[in-house]
Amino acid sequence: MTRSIQRMCLGLALLVAAWAQSDQEYVSWMKAAAGACGAAKKAVDAKALPDAVEPAEKVADAFGKIEGYWKARNSPAAGIAHTANMAASELAAAAKAGDAAKASAALQQLTGTCKTCHEAHREKNPNGGFTIKP
């Protein structure tokens, strides 16, 4: 094998490894967002708005990373992630302000993004897991 082919193969291998690592990070960000969203929902439902602030901020942080993941792939999912990010930020701000109506509306918008994105960008595997679709 010539040096240029070796370099090309090495570059491709590094790209594949980086992509796989990104997918693993993506899954961890989604799990963090889901857990924090559940905690924020529980707090909003209990009318304990101060308890919703930190989890909502964690959701916003996760969706900022998720949005970047999808932008790097030129996927329309980036727009959905952006909407989720903004809704989580609005939820955190409303919870800080003690505005239950705005917090509830932001939470509804946030959770509405989940089904939309999951239906378009993930596919259930026969083994019970999911594959990420562009």
- Backbone angle region of 123, left / alpha / beta, with phi > 0 → left and psi within -120 to 50 → alpha: beta
Residue closest to 105 by CA, chosen among 63, 44, 34, 32:
44
| Residue numbers of the domain that contains 47 | 23-132
Is residue 18 a part of any domain in this protein?
A: no
pLDDT in tens, 29-83: 999 999 999 999 999 999 999 999 999 999 999 999 999 999 999 999 999 999 9
Domain count, the chain: 1
Confidence of residue 130 (pLDDT cuts 50, 70, 90): confident
Is residue 8 a part of any domain in this protein?
A: no
Q: Return the CATH number at 106.
A: 1.20.120.10
The amino acid at residue 29 is: W
